[in-house]
Structure 1
Amino acid sequence: MAGTIKKFLVKFDRPSNTIKTANVEVAMTLVVVAEPAPLETNADGVVLVGKTPVTLDTVIAVFKQGTTAEEIVDRYPSRSIG
């Protein structure tokens, strides 16, 4: 995986109140990790979100109605989705 070199100008504040500058190069590598969706299928074949009784169909339906992810979580305050 190829890294990206980023250049930054860094200022160091010394106790003598003088400011020194230096160019610093930092090698950065972006690592992308896919996490599995927190979905489980119950005995009836219904897909549930995480370890909650909330069905995936319910989440999709309210999302399609324009409800944000935060609002969906707020609708189920005693449960954690995900």
Structure 2
Amino acid sequence: MDQEPIGSVFEYRAKGGSGSDDDISAKCALWLWPLPPAGDLRLVAQWTDMGMGESSIVLDGSQLREAAAAVEPYWPAAEGQG
């Protein structure tokens, strides 16, 4: 990314899935900007078309920050980039 986003971003990136009439599974990645502060972060989801009412989990913002700090590039940046 060339620039930091303006404002907050929470993005769902689908990675595939499968299912039948009785079962469904999916994989995704979530991208969050900026990183949350240390402390509790509540993630809330609802999918009424699939019969899922509102539910939530609490994540530790400090663990997300620690994980982000440990990220290493998968391949070197192209010349002239970060």
Range class of TM-score, shorter chain: under 0.3
- Identify the structure with the greater strand proportion: 2
Larger radius of gyration: 1
- Identify the structure with the greater helix proportion: 1
TM-score w.r.t. length of structure 2 = 0.26
TM-score w.r.t. length of structure 1 = 0.26
